[in-house]
A and B are shown apart, each in its own frame.
Chain A
Amino acid sequence: MTKLTIDDIRRVLVECAGGDEASKWTGDVSALDFDELGYDSLALMETATRLQLDYGVHLPEDEIAEVRTPGELLDFVNGRLAEAA
């Protein structure tokens, strides 16, 4: 079963919405709000769409809107992948 890491989340986020500083992420930063990291709701939508296409996982839009941090996004995606497996 596919399981993403925080590095996968970081890579897709940077590809979709830019942000060099994300390359310096550590585990702690994954608990920061997307707002604090400078990513808005569109950045999150773009990233979610890409994750769905790349990993064949369905991420309902209304649930994505509730995700606040990269760590939460990682858990959410892996949870959906596990459900689908």
Chain B
Amino acid sequence: MSVVTGIGVVAPNGLGVERYWKSTVEGSVGIGELTRFDSSGYSSRLAGQVLDLDVAEHLPSKLLPQTDVSTRMALVAAQWALEDSAVDVGSMTDYDMGVVTANAAGGFEFTHREFHKLWSQGPRHVSVYESFAWFYAVNTGQISIRHGMRGPSTALVAEQAGGLDAIGHARRTVRRGTPLVVTGGVDSAFDPWGWVSHLSSGRVSTGSDPTRAYQPFDRDASGYVPGEGGAILVVEDEAAARARGARIYGEIAGYASTFDPPPDSGRPPALGRAAELALADAGVEPSQVDVVFADSVGVAELDRAEARVIRELFTPFGVPVTAPKALTGRLFSGGGPLDVVAALMSIKDGVIPPTAGTAEVPADYGIDLVLGEPRKADVGTALVLARGRWGFNAAIVVRRVSPDQRS
């Protein structure tokens, strides 16, 4: 059994799991006008920015010249997760610790700056660190190097679905015999080049009200707001975690990923199959699921498709559904892991956070979206869904572990 023993969060509405969770339950929004550069000429101007993280306070100065902002956030989140887990990394064998992270954008801002040097000053001015700072595997690599973790390690790329794939693969890695794996995802791409890349999806909201621009499942849904940050988790073999007396947040009980058929195939998207396979993997019936953390793109066609999946699997209005990402924006590889954190905290505190901003869900969606106020609920099992652009789907089942349970 793979259990979560440590959580590190870098989110637009809160640094650290406690502040993120408080903001999420209270509905504190982390979305605002994009201030990383002059965005006044762009069609969309709202973003979920992490504005209060002083990386120099947390990271050795030698790591700064060689890291993109996204990698710095990943390193801080990993450090917090390890501190939260109270594991003594130094006492463990390096090959018994792995790192599995997802990444969707790579080191965008860093690369933008180096490309600017390349074209304006010439190749000799490009930083040698660009050789890896851009790279999808860089967060896995830097976490591995910093904490001396030489066990099986991987990087996964599947747009917004990738973060759940990473956690699923971390569970697989634990099952194959690695006692501890650091996992999750963090992304950031808020330089001008990164921003136009976001806008190229055609799904970014052009709204100007931070509380209304991203309204998952709303009848007036008009796109999503991009965000930055994410979450890193420490996943351990349950026996190893119990042997060292670790606090256990919950179990990663099931996982599945699927890929959509071609758009012109006439066959339905494969999100529903991912959800079914993840439940089967966990040995859980739909009736046993207490809450669904939905992917919730905030685009009518995609919301409708996801609502149909949930309705058909759980019966109409058969399970509470929520989308706390309305407060942070979509974090790409960070989105799924942050939802897993929210699911674990729902289990811990017995409360389902609301979907901020959303006012009215079309009746024919047939979903019980938690709106307005947090809802008290005894949450034992949660399903987390994620879709990545171009056909990626992933689902994770998170389950409560009772303190005296033995595997």
Contact = CB atoms under 8 A, between A and B. Distances in A.
B61 to A, nearest CB: 4
Nearest to A41: B128
A19 B63 CA distance: 9
Contacts of B61: 14, 18-20
Contacts of B125: 53
Q: Is the interface of A mostly helix, strand, loop or mixed?
A: helix
Given A18-B62, A20-B61, A46 B127 contact: yes
A29 interface: no
Contact of A18 (B65, B124, B128): B65
B69 to A, nearest CB: 15
A46 B66 CA distance: 10
A17 B128 CA distance: 10
B92 interface: no
Nearest to A52: B124
Given A17-B65, A18-B63, A49 B124 contact: yes
B403 interface: no
Contacts of A49: 124, 128
A46 B129 contact: yes
A41 B60 CA distance: 18
Interface in B31-73: 60-66
A39 to B, nearest CB: 8
B62 A38 contact: yes
A42 interface: yes
Given A42-B129, A46-B129, A17 B62 contact: yes
A16 interface: yes
Nearest to B121: A53
A46 B128 contact: yes
Contacts of A6: none
Contact of B128 (A15, A38, A42, A53): A42
A45 interface: yes
Contacts of B65: 15-18, 46
B168 to A, nearest CB: 33
B66 A19 contact: no
A45 B129 CA distance: 10
A53 B63 contact: no
Nearest to B65: A18
Interface of A: 14-20, 38-39, 42-43, 45-46, 49, 52-53
18 contacts: A15-B65, A17-B62, A17-B65, A18-B60, A18-B62, A18-B64, A18-B66, A19-B61, A42-B129, A42-B131, A43-B62, A46-B127, A46-B128, A49-B124, A49-B128, A52-B124, A53-B124, A53-B125
Given A14-B61, A17-B62, 6 more contacts: A18-B61, A38-B62, A42-B128, A42-B131, A46-B65, A46-B128
